[in-house]
């Protein structure tokens, strides 16, 4: 009836309610399961993304600020008060940190040993150190630079999915989906443009991540030889 009145040149205020999905990408109309599926597909298809925030794993808290894409990744990780930079170009991983990061067994052993550790560490200060693929550190650290691995591991919600509140993330309209009412995590999905994940609150207080710069390219390149140290098959150990 309202449509007929408008078509006939007459409009009545209040004939139609405001559509919350007007001007959006429409995923807000979908079920929580379909929203998660659409969001995962958009994330997988994106050429690049930046992840920043905290991740708690095995009782360790990691602070991340990483840019990742299929060809590699770069950024910083902080753990146990130590900050280091990671760079992956193809399959090759590099780690850069200050001398304190490389100093082993601080305060232990005799004076000569401590001085030797400090001298060796000083040579690595601010240098990119090549991480051999066979070194245990490679498996532990390369995941922070792997787009697929990061997203697959981070964007999974656990338990029964449900739609949460609509709102905005910065200036972007968004909608939340939850696993087990938030106990299994909460994912905030963009309602503008492609349904990219914008924020993840991991279940069990396991950290919060912001996901930005979707599709924004960045450069990954091999370090200059003057900045590089290669120990061969194994990183220096204590």
**237/162: higher pLDDT:** 162
Q: Residue 83 and residue 96: Cα distance in Å, rounded?
A: 9
Residue 209, pLDDT > 80, answer: yes
If we measure between CA atoms, which residue out of 85, 92, 97, 51 comes closest to residue 221? 92
Q: What is the pairing mode between strands 172-179 and 186-190? A: antiparallel
User: What CATH fold (topology level) applies to the domain 27-229?
Assistant: outer membrane lipoprotein receptor (LolB), chain A (2.50.20)
pTM confidence score: 0.82
* Model confidence band, residue 234 (pLDDT cutoffs 50, 70, 90): low
Task: Find the mean pLDDT for residues 53-66.
Answer: 92
Count of beta carbons in the 10 Å neighbourhood of residue 14: 6
Reported confidence tier of residue 113, pLDDT bands at 50, 70, 90: very low
Q: In the predicted model, is pLDDT for residue 107 greater than 90?
A: no
The predicted-structure confidence for 63-105, as pLDDT tens digits, reads as follows 999 999 999 999 999 998 899 999 999 999 999 999 888 885 3
Which token pair is 49?
């993304």
Query: Domains of the chain: which residue ranges?
Result: 27-229
3-state SS of 46-101?
A: CCEEEEEEEEEECCEEEEEEEEEECCEEEEEEEECCEEEEEEEECCEEEEECCHHH
- Alpha-carbon distance of 190 to 169, in angstroms, equals 8
């Amino acid at each position: 009836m309202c449509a007929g009145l408008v078509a006939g040149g007459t409009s009545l205020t209040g004939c139609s309610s405001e559509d919350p999905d007007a001007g959006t990408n429409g995923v807000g109309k979908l079920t929580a399961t379909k929203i998660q599926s659409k969001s995962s597909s958009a994330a997988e298809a994106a050429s690049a993304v930046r992840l920043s925030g905290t991740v708690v794993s095995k009782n360790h808290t990691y602070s991340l600020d990483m840019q990742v894409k299929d060809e590699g990744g770069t950024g910083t990780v902080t753990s146990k008060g130590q900050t280091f930079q990671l760079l992956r170009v193809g399959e090759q991983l590099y780690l850069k940190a200050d001398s304190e990061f490389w100093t082993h067994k601080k305060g232990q052993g005799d004076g000569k040993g401590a001085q030797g550790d400090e001298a060796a560490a000083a040579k690595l200060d601010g240098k990119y150190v090549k991480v051999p693929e066979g070194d245990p550190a490679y498996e532990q650290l390369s995941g922070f630079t792997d787009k697929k691995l990061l997203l697959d591991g981070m964007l999974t919600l656990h338990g029964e999915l449900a739609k949460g509140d609509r709102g905005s993330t910065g200036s972007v309209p968004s909608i939340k989906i939850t696993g087990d009412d938030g106990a299994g995590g909460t994912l905030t999905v963009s309602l503008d443009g492609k349904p990219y994940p914008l924020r993840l609150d991991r279940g069990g207080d396991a950290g919060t991540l912001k996901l930005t710069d979707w599709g924004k390219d960045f450069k990954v390149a091999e370090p200059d030889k003057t900045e590089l140290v290669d120990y061969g098959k194994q990183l220096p150990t204590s």
